[in-house]
């Protein structure tokens, strides 16, 4: 008899145990009406992922335990797999419970605990040791949780875009226990190219073990992480048999009949620009919604970074929840004002202008005695930025909206940003995008609808904090800068390795020096959406006080 499975790719809210439970039970009721045999939810679906130090609170664990019991009492005539934290004795486990007719008939503990990049699971959980296989509609179903299917090569596969072809220990154990099907519950965060890596990992394990696999992934934004969904299944030969959507909730049904998996869900993978853009949109939407902000504020400069930030915000929240503020100074070009106004009008957002020159002049008058005989330098440049930051935060305080900062990864890497100025705000949309990536995504966004004026995309980037200023007056070209940042930050390549790739030693040494001396700035910057294999956040934990500069004495 065929086994009908519903893969519940859902958006769970960390800490909102009651709402997560209600969503799961609603899906179970719908599945029963459609004669589904098995409902699969993502990793830690009951409490959301990652719960971080909430897992250290006994009251939080008690709420999860009691809510799980209430869910079990509701289940009849169907099988549900739900992810949750579980304490047994003195140990806490990342667990999955199999519920049938009011009873927990099996419980699995995650065996491979990732403790690299954005993952901290060894801080909280003890690794499980036993496989779990249970029966549904005459089919023996095994369980794994996320890293289990990646095995010992998990870290290498997720960071180097390659898959080590060896049997994963947890998958082998399930196969040896007689499973006909493997279900993998996941909270696998997005970065560019991750969807293809996941597929290769799961297809490799399916083929090595001649075992069909169902892969259920979480969806949604959680602080800097975005979970992109993209749940799928493959047959025993590793051929993809079902594919859910990305960046949206999905209830994907698949059928297993004598080792053959069939489904009407055949979504396509997304190209890189679209996937990254949708990750930004989802990250902003969920950060604003889950933290109950009424809307967002953006300082619109007429430049490319604020333009892309505005487009993302409108796509995430709608024009009515976005306000753009232009704050021109004596150095602001007329084209900047024109382009900012045109873009805001085109998108239909609330727009206003506040001149900052009178405030700047007032500050300079107050500081005239202290600055006597001193030339105009970055101090005056930063003062303009801090005036703008103060204005935006004042509007935020008055109206409750969240300030979205507009700095990119190139700027965050080199410190080309002002503390308490353009870094002031609550969420950094472009924090993990290099300048070149900002341009690529701006061009992509205009293929959907032309919302970013072409002049913004074409003009040389400038902070407009002094006369005739260009970014490349202070930095190497972004083509060079971004490449060096990528090699050093994302792939941990040393100075000598990067120079050997053909970059000038003076450029490499300067950029690496800037990366290290600006750690104190990044530590004080707001969280932002992670879209690369390594962003400045949970997976970048360098000391502020350090003399290391990436050079080795020979």
Looking at the fold, whether 308 and 438 belong to one and the same domain comes out as yes
Looking at the fold, whether 93 and 160 belong to one and the same domain comes out as yes
For the residues 296-324, what does the mean pLDDT come to?
Answer: 97
Looking at the fold, whether 62 and 146 belong to one and the same domain comes out as yes
Looking at the fold, whether 185 and 318 belong to one and the same domain comes out as no
Which range (1-15, 50-64, 539-553) has the least confidence? Answer: 539-553
Which range (75-79, 153-157, 471-475) has the least confidence? Answer: 153-157
Looking at the fold, whether 265 and 349 belong to one and the same domain comes out as no
Among 217, 236, 270, residue at a domain's last position? 270
Can you give the pLDDT at residue 162? 60
For the residues 339-353, what does the mean pLDDT come to?
Answer: 96
Looking at the fold, whether 225 and 308 belong to one and the same domain comes out as no
Instruction: Encode pLDDT of 444-461 as tens digits.
Output: 999 999 999 999 999 887
The catalytically annotated residue of 23, 110, 323, 409 is: 110
Closest CA to 104 of 69, 139, 153, 143: 69
Can you give the pLDDT at residue 552? 61
Secondary structure tally for the chain: helices H, strands E: 19, 20
Can you give the pLDDT at residue 41? 98
C-alpha distances (whole Å) from 180 to each of 138, 151, 262 are 10, 20, 15
C-alpha distances (whole Å) from 418 to each of 233, 292, 515 are 47, 28, 15
Looking at the fold, whether 325 and 250 belong to one and the same domain comes out as no
pTM: 0.94
231 located within any domain:
yes
Please give the backbone phi and psi of residue 530, each rounded to the nearest 5 degrees, phi first: -90, 120
281 located within any domain:
no
Polymer length in residues for the chain = 554
Buried/exposed 158-172: b ≥16 CB within 10 Å, e otherwise: bbeeebeeeebebbb
Q: Which residue has the tokens 């008899």?
A: 1
365 located within any domain:
yes
Q: Which helix (DSSP H) or strand (DSSP E) does residue 366 occupy?
A: helix 357-367
Which range (23-37, 178-192, 228-242, 472-486) has the least confidence? Answer: 472-486
pLDDT range class, residue 165, cuts 50, 70, 90? confident
Can you give the pLDDT at residue 31? 96
| Direct distance between the N- and C-terminal alpha carbons of the chain, in angstroms, rounded to an integer | 69
- The answer to whether residue 509 is catalytic is no
467 located within any domain:
yes
447 located within any domain:
yes
Looking at the fold, whether 333 and 249 belong to one and the same domain comes out as no
The CATH number linked to 355 is 3.40.50.620
pLDDT range class, residue 153, cuts 50, 70, 90? low
For the residues 59-85, what does the mean pLDDT come to?
Answer: 97
Number of domains in the chain: 2
Can you give the pLDDT at residue 554? 52
Q: How many CB atoms lie within 10 A of CB 459?
A: 17
Looking at the fold, whether 247 and 306 belong to one and the same domain comes out as no
CA distance 398 to 112: 48
Can you give the pLDDT at residue 223? 96
Instruction: Encode pLDDT of 288-297 as tens digits.
Output: 999 999 999 9
- The answer to whether residue 126 is catalytic is no
Can you give the pLDDT at residue 172? 94
162 located within any domain:
yes
Among 473, 497, 517, residue at a domain's last position? 473
Can you give the pLDDT at residue 133? 96
- CA angle 416–419–425, rounded 5-degree value: 105
Among 473, 498, 514, residue at a domain's last position? 473
- The answer to whether residue 234 is catalytic is no
Residue 475 has pLDDT above 70, yes or no: yes
Looking at the fold, whether 348 and 385 belong to one and the same domain comes out as yes
132 located within any domain:
yes
The CATH number linked to 218 is 3.60.110.10
Q: Which domain holds residue 166?
A: 3-270
Residue 159 has pLDDT above 70, yes or no: no
Looking at the fold, whether 261 and 381 belong to one and the same domain comes out as no
Residue 78 has pLDDT above 70, yes or no: yes
pLDDT range class, residue 117, cuts 50, 70, 90? confident
Instruction: Encode pLDDT of 357-416 as tens digits.
Output: 999 999 999 999 999 999 999 899 999 999 999 999 999 999 999 999 999 999 999 999
541 located within any domain:
no
For the residues 119-137, what does the mean pLDDT come to?
Answer: 94
Residue 164 has pLDDT above 80, yes or no: no
Looking at the fold, whether 321 and 232 belong to one and the same domain comes out as no
């Amino acid at each position: 008899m065929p086994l009908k499975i519903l893969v519940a790719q859902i958006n769970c809210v960390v800490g909102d145990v009651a709402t997560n439970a209600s969503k799961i039970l609603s899906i179970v009721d719908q599945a029963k009406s459609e004669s589904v045999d098995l409902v699969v939810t993502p990793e830690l679906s009951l409490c959301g992922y990652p719960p971080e130090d909430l897992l250290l609170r006994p009251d939080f664990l008690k709420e999860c335990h009691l809510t799980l019991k209430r869910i079990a009492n509701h289940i009849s005539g169907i099988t549900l797999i739900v992810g949750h934290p579980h304490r047994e004795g003195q140990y806490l486990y990342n667990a999955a419970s199999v519920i049938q007719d009011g009873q927990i008939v099996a419980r699995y503990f995650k065996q491979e605990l990732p403790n690299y990049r954005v993952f901290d699971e060894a801080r909280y959980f003890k690794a499980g040791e036993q496989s779990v296989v249970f029966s549904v509609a005459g089919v023996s179903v095994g369980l794994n949780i996320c890293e289990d299917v990646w095995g010992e090569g998990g870290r290498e596969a997720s960071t180097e875009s390659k898959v080590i072809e060896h049997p994963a220990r947890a998958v082998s154990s399930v196969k040896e226990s007689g499973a006909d099907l493997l279900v993998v519950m996941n909270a696998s965060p997005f970065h560019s190219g991750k969807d293809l890596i996941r597929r290769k990992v799961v297809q490799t394990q399916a083929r090595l073990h001649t075992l069909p696999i169902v892969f259920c992934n979480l969806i949604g934004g959680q602080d800097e992480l975005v979970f992109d969904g993209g749940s799928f299944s493959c047959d025993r030969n590793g051929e993809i048999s079902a594919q859910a959507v990305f960046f949206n909730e999905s209830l994907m049904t698949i059928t297993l009949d004598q080792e053959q998996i069939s489904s009407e869900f055949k979504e396509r993978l997304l190209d890189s620009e679209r996937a990254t853009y949708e990750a930004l949109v989802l990250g902003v939407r969920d950060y604003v919604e889950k933290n109950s902000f009424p809307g967002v504020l953006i300082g619109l400069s007429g430049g490319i970074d604020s333009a892309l930030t505005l487009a993302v915000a409108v796509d995430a929240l709608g024009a009515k929840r976005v306000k753009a503020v232009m704050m021109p100074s004596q150095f602001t070009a007329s084209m900047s004002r024109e382009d900012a106004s045109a873009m805001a009008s085109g998108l239909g957002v609330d727009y206003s202008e506040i001149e900052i020159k009178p405030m700047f002049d007032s500050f300079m008058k107050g500081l005239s005695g202290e600055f006597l005989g001193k030339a105009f330098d970055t101090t005056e440049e930063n003062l303009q930025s801090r005036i703008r930051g103060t204005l935006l935060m004042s509007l935020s305080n008055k109206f409750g909206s969240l300030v979205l900062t507009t700095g990119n990864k190139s700027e965050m890497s080199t410190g080309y940003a002002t503390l308490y100025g353009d870094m002031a705000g609550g969420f950094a949309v472009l924090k993990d995008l290099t300048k070149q990536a900002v341009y690529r995504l701006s061009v992509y966004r205009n293929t959907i609808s032309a919302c970013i004026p072409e002049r913004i995309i074409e003009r040389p980037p400038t902070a407009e904090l002094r006369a005739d200023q260009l970014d490349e007056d202070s930095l190497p070209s972004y083509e060079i800068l971004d490449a060096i940042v990528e090699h050093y930050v994302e792939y941990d390549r040393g100075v000598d390795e990067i120079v050997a790739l053909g970059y000038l030693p003076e450029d490499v040494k300067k950029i690496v020096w800037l990366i290290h001396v600006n750690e104190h700035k990044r530590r004080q910057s707001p969280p932002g959406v992670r879209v690369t294999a390594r962003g400045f956040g949970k997976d970048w934990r360098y000391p502020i006080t350090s003399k290391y500069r990436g050079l080795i004495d020979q």
